[in-house]
Amino acid sequence: MDPRASLSRLWRDEHSRSVIIQILAVVLIFGLFAYLVRNAVVNLEAIGKGFSFGYLQEPASYDINQHLIEYSSRSTHFRAMLVGILNTLLVAVSGIVLATVLGFSLGVLRLSKNLLASKLAHIYIDYVRNVPVLLHILLVYGIIVNTLPVPREAQSLGDIAFLTNRGFFLPKPIFEPLFLVILGLFAAGIVFTIWFRRYAADIQRKTGEHYPVFWISLGAVLGIPLISYFLIGGPITFEIPALTGFNFSGGMVVRPEFTALWIALSLYTAAFIAEIVRAGIISVNYGQTEASLALGINHGRTLNLVVIPQALRVIVPPLTSQYLNLAKNSSLAIAIGYMDIVATIGGITLNQTGREIECMIIVLLLYLSLSLLISFAMNIYNKRIRLVER
């Protein structure tokens, strides 16, 4: 047999063809990788730069105006990276919380029988979804900076908190050691509630007896710690901000950059969540509600026990991707100077040290892990609420 015929037979056979295609793909892609890496090595050598993460131990010598952990310009680049990570997490987590609350309310409003409420919600959602998030961030930031007064003419809220265009100055709580007792009681209350809920559900399943679960949990989580707080004599004192010169000192400050980013991201994501919630609630057949009412279950419990558990199954998977989007969009912080991970390690550190490849690798890996973490957490939750098929 001549070699050309056997070659064509090899190509006609499905199994051998798939092997050939895969080998070609692997060779091609690894070849491309090797080529790119080789180029990088040659280029780095040509300008005398190595590849190392040693620069992380050098002093950063730049300031970060919002830091949740101790940081000064003498700290290392590594410390700056940690500050950046914490700032990213702060805005991502608080954004997710606010966006969820707003999104669910908007979604319910959109379905409301009140025509005005549902129309307004509809217009708002359409506007927000069709305008870029970066524009929202810049707009909110511009409004905060341009319309709020300068510190000297600060808008005071009962002389303890002040609104200015340099930030919101709030009283700073100073915790005395006894406060730990209250924290302990609070934690114990939560643990007790979790146990008690299971116990009460168990009792109800066996005997049909109802416990006032809500009131008992409320008492355990909030009541007892509150009472003991006053019994001990209020182990928290507040440091109130005061105007000194051109700015306030003391107290706690929420920077306008954080506020703008937080509000803009939440408003933007809330519009998307609202549509998801609406679709979820619509997806539950109205017959379910009717059946539940026919069984004599009241409206509130119908919503809680029948509609929402079924709607959640539709809502949670797309909700996860909205959370991911919010976390990723928080990288736009750099546009208004909020010092998140992109602005610290991928911005100033990168420009100072000239270690582009190393810095970008760190940033990319961090976002990948953050995304994986959120998907992982939401997947666990999704499994818990999934339809149990028998």
Partner 1 sequence: MDWLFLDAAFTGGSRDECSAKAGGACWAVIGERLNLFTYGFYPVAERWRVNLSLVLLIFTLFPILFEKAPYRKYALHIAVAFPFVTAWLLVGGLGLTPVETDQFGGFMLTLVIGITGIGFSLPIGILLALGRQSKLPAIQIFSIGFIEFIRGVPLITLLFVASTMLNYFLPPGVTFDLLLRVLIMVTLFASAYMAEVIRGGLQAIPKGQFEAADSMGLHYWSAMRLIVLPQAIKISIPGIVNTFIGLYKDTTLVIIIGLLDPLGIGRASLADTRWTGLSTEVYLFVAIFFFISCFGMARYSQHLEKKLETDHKR
Q: Which neighbouring-strand residues pair with 237? A: 174
Residue nearer to partner 1 on the CB measure, 53 or 127: 127
371 near partner 1, rule: CB under 8 A: yes
Q: Please identify which residue in 10, 222, 368, 377 interacts with partner 1, judged by CB under 8 A.
A: 368
329 near partner 1, rule: CB under 8 A: yes
255: left (phi over 0), alpha (psi -120 to 50) or beta: beta
Tokens of 151: 């510190």
Span of 177-185, 186-194, 201-209, 322-330 interacting with partner 1 by CB under 8 A: 322-330
Q: Please identify which residue in 151, 241, 256, 346 interacts with partner 1, judged by CB under 8 A.
A: 346
Q: DSSP class of residue 306?
A: I
Query: In angstroms, rounded to a whole number, what is the distance separating the alpha carbons of residues 320 and 326?
Result: 10
Query: In angstroms, rounded to a whole number, what is the distance separating the alpha carbons of residues 328 and 170?
Result: 29
Residue nearer to partner 1 on the CB measure, 134 or 240: 134
Span of 196-204, 248-256, 284-292, 353-361 interacting with partner 1 by CB under 8 A: 353-361
44 near partner 1, rule: CB under 8 A: yes
Amino acid, single-letter form, for residue 209:
E
Can you point out the beta strands (E) in 167-214? 167-170, 172-175
21 near partner 1, rule: CB under 8 A: yes
Which residue has 């610290």 as its token pair? Answer: 344
Distance of CA 209 to the CA centre of its chain: 40
| SS3 state at 253 | strand
Size of site (CB under 8 A) for partner 1: 50
- What part of residues 137-166 is at the interface with partner 1 (CB under 8 A)? 138-139, 141-143, 145-146
57 and 76 Cβ atoms separated by less than 8 Å: yes
269 and 322 Cβ atoms separated by less than 8 Å: yes
29 near partner 1, rule: CB under 8 A: yes
340: left (phi over 0), alpha (psi -120 to 50) or beta: beta
- What part of residues 76-135 is at the interface with partner 1 (CB under 8 A)? 126-127, 129-135
285 near partner 1, rule: CB under 8 A: no
Q: Please identify which residue in 105, 193, 331, 352 interacts with partner 1, judged by CB under 8 A.
A: 331
Q: Rule CB under 8 A: which residues touch partner 1?
A: 18, 21-23, 25-26, 29, 36-37, 39-40, 42-44, 46, 126-127, 129-135, 138-139, 141-143, 145-146, 324, 328-329, 331-332, 334-335, 342, 346, 350, 356-357, 360, 363-364, 367-368, 371-372
